[in-house]
A and B are shown apart, each in its own frame.
Chain A
Amino acid sequence: MKQIRILLADDHTVMRRGLRLLLESHPEFGVVAEASDGRQAVEQAEATEPDVAVLDIAMPNLSGIEAAQRINTALPHTAIVILSMHSDEGYVLRALKAGAKGYLLKDSAEGDLIDAIQSVYEGRTFFSPEITKMLMEDYVREIRTRGAEDSYDLLTSREREVLQLLVELKSNKEIAQALNLSLYTIETHRRNLHEKLNLHSLPELILYAVRKGVTS
């Protein structure tokens, strides 16, 4: 069985050791490199080309976000999970924009890390359940307090399907195949989605989907 090769980066040694112990108890995971700051994480990633990089959001020298950006640019096949203590959507969006596919709260890291690594390795997104719950609650509350129309209601069922697949990080081509539609039609649906939701990037769409509870 092929092991998933993992880079662990956190400036707190205790945290790093805890996570490593956790991962090593699963034979399908192998920690190939460790780093204690952002710069080191980028260097180690370039040297070892891991399948998954787990980066603490707050590290000296280079923050986890910046390190994620660099690793994502240099190694597009390395999936990135951000470890963070912030549950705010601003941080989540920032992580997504930097190219992360997973966002894990440190509080619950030990419970969700395995799932997260597995998900992103398989090309899906992963968010801590607390994050998902909070974002969904925020969304519902906003809709309620503002009495605004739920923009999700504006979407056709086909567009909802496309959204679902988009946030699962499928390419246009994969979506076309899955829905048995032409590539051109998918592009049109995608454009409509951006316009109806007034969200103009994939990270924003992903966050929206999480808020809306489409992914769970």
Chain B
Amino acid sequence: MAKTAGARSSDRVFFRSRVAMAVGFGGLLSIMALAGVDALNVLNQFRRKDNQIRHRYLTQNHVLNDIKSDVYISGTYVRDYLLEPDIQRADAYRASLAEVRQHMQASLEAYRREVAPQEARHYSALRAELMDYWGILAPVFQWNPTERRSSGYAFLRDQVFPRRQSMLELAGRIDALNEQQLDAGNRQVVALLLGFQTRLLLTLLAALALGLGLALFSMRKILNLEEQARLQYVDVAQARSQLKELSARLVQAQETERRSLSRELHDEVGQALSAVLIELRNLSARLALRSEEQSRRHIETIKGLVENTVRVVRNMALLLRPSMLDDLGLIPALKWQARECSKSTSMDVTVAAELDSDELPDHYKTCIYRVVQEALHNCARHSHATTVRIRVRQQPDRLILTIQDDGQGFDVQETKGMGLLGIEERVTRLGGKYKIHSQPKRGTILSLELPFARESPLPDENGSAAAHETNSHPVG
């Protein structure tokens, strides 16, 4: 239960951090995209404005230059016309002058379309001056050659040249204005660029800040994950080394047990039987001598030896697998164990059972029996307990065993002997759980739950240990 809740909450955390990352990266990318679009836009505006200003300046400049050159040319034509004695050629000059006038008129018209408000005054002045100029020239074209020769030069000097001068000055002023406007346009463009620069700077700062935040956030997440992975790795490594240690200790335990069995077989049974043989030989010798008293003594010795051997063999058999477990069932076997333990130690061991029936699967009987054996062994060796209560309860779906002592307890975190590892191994093999509550000086409660497997077949007890444990034929 706790595990799934933990998984759910860690899912939530992952989800939240994913949302945060998405928002962060999305924001960063959109800021960069917006900044790019903005920059393109500003550059476009800049180019357009610049083009516009330049185009206007060039056009106006061109028109003004046309007007200026027309003024010059017209002066030249007027002079040539006035000073030309040949009528035909004078007429040609007059026609050229009319052409120049027309051209100037068109240029003025063109200029009028482009004229800026601040030039309007100068423009109308120029226009009026030009009109005036042409108005003054008009009577001259009616003059005959004699009039032209007599008053032509004076007219040129007094009327035409001063006017031409003032017209050129006006044009110069417009030109200057024009240039001023070009400058103003340029300044406008520069201001546009400056504004853009500020905006770009702000965007850059925002992106940097967001990126920095994102980087910090990601870094923290990654470090967290790294730490988690490291802890997990440590856990796994620890579990593996524990497993290795356990199997090493199991092998060692098996070896120790074999050694002690072998020693007992050799020392106790073998020696006793050898002694029986010797005694029998003695006996047959005595019988040959018909020494009845001595024969009886030998027979008594043999009897004692054999009785002892029988007991040793039985104890060994019981140690390997108590036939009681198969003959009488779990609870009588536990009670026997409790009695034996009470007898050989100073502890009072009781067994309370609430079982529907003693028809338990063999694995369960063996598991509980061995766990109790191990626990009693631990109690006797380490706890200094005076009472041990063993309770077995059956529920529809599980078997519950509790073993409680009033001994000195121990630190569960620090102590994990072979016995506890063995208990753990047995219980996990049946898919059960076990818990130990213990505090120094406050006794120990070991409780375990073995679920009854409904569908799935029980794990088979295999290996050499199971071979003699499941042997149901009692030693007879």
Chain A residues with CB under 8 Å of chain B are 11-12, 56-60, 63, 65, 85-86, 88-91, 94, 107, 138, 141-142, 145-146
Contact sample, A vs B, 28 pairs, CB 8 Å cutoff: A12-B476, A56-B476, A57-B476, A58-B327, A58-B473, A58-B474, A58-B475, A59-B476, A65-B327, A85-B314, A85-B476, A86-B327, A88-B324, A88-B336, A88-B339, A89-B339, A90-B324, A90-B328, A90-B336, A91-B327, A91-B328, A94-B327, A94-B328, A107-B310, A138-B339, A138-B343, A145-B342, A145-B346
Distance of B230 from chain A, by nearest CB (Å): 54
Nearest chain A residue, comparing its CB with the CB of B346: A145
CA distance A48 to B295 in the complex (A): 41
Distance of A205 from chain B, by nearest CB (Å): 18
CA distance A146 to B338 in the complex (A): 14
Nearest chain A residue, comparing its CB with the CB of B329: A90
Contacts of A90 in B (CB 8 A): 324, 328, 332-333, 335-336
Contacts of A142 in B (CB 8 A): 342
Asked if B324 and A11 sit within 8 Å, CB to CB, the answer is no
Contacts of A85 in B (CB 8 A): 310, 314, 475-476
5 pairs of A and B residues whose beta carbons are closest in the complex: A90-B332, A58-B476, A58-B474, A145-B348, A90-B328
A91 is contacted by which of B307, B324, B342, B476 (Cβ under 8 Å)?
B324
Distance of A192 from chain B, by nearest CB (Å): 25
CA distance A59 to B324 in the complex (A): 14
Contacts of B323 in A (CB 8 A): 58, 86
Distance of B29 from chain A, by nearest CB (Å): 80
Contacts of A12 in B (CB 8 A): 476
Chain B binding site: helix, strand, loop or mixed by DSSP?
helix
Which B308-351 residues have C-beta < 8 A from chain A?
Answer: 310, 314, 323-324, 327-328, 332-333, 335-336, 339, 342-343, 346, 348
CA distance A94 to B333 in the complex (A): 12
Distance of B198 from chain A, by nearest CB (Å): 95
Contacts A12-B476, A63-B327, A88-B324 known; 8 new A-B pairs at CB < 8 A: A57-B327, A85-B475, A86-B327, A88-B339, A90-B336, A141-B343, A145-B342, A145-B348
Interface size on B, residues (CB 8 A): 20
Contacts of B328 in A (CB 8 A): 90-91, 94
CA distance A22 to B314 in the complex (A): 25
Which B430-476 residues have C-beta < 8 A from chain A?
Answer: 473-476
CA distance A59 to B342 in the complex (A): 31
CA distance A104 to B307 in the complex (A): 16
Distance of A150 from chain B, by nearest CB (Å): 16
**CB within 8 Å for A11 and B476 given contacts A86-B324, A90-B336, A146-B348:** yes
Contacts of A88 in B (CB 8 A): 324, 332, 336, 339
Asked if B476 and A141 sit within 8 Å, CB to CB, the answer is no
Nearest chain A residue, comparing its CB with the CB of B386: A145
Distance of B211 from chain A, by nearest CB (Å): 78
CA distance A59 to B327 in the complex (A): 11
CA distance A110 to B348 in the complex (A): 36
CA distance A94 to B336 in the complex (A): 13
Distance of B27 from chain A, by nearest CB (Å): 77
Nearest chain B residue, comparing its CB with the CB of A137: B343
CA distance A146 to B348 in the complex (A): 7
Contacts of B343 in A (CB 8 A): 138, 141
CA distance A57 to B323 in the complex (A): 12
Distance of B342 from chain A, by nearest CB (Å): 7
Distance of A63 from chain B, by nearest CB (Å): 7
CA distance A85 to B339 in the complex (A): 18
Nearest chain A residue, comparing its CB with the CB of B335: A90
Distance of B18 from chain A, by nearest CB (Å): 64
Distance of A61 from chain B, by nearest CB (Å): 11
Distance of A114 from chain B, by nearest CB (Å): 18
B307 is contacted by which of A56, A86, A107 (Cβ under 8 Å)?
A107
CA distance A88 to B338 in the complex (A): 12
Contacts of A65 in B (CB 8 A): 327
Nearest chain A residue, comparing its CB with the CB of B317: A85
Distance of A199 from chain B, by nearest CB (Å): 15
Contacts of B336 in A (CB 8 A): 88, 90
Distance of A81 from chain B, by nearest CB (Å): 16
Distance of A154 from chain B, by nearest CB (Å): 20
Contacts of A141 in B (CB 8 A): 342-343
Contacts of B476 in A (CB 8 A): 11-12, 56-59, 85
Asked if B324 and A60 sit within 8 Å, CB to CB, the answer is no
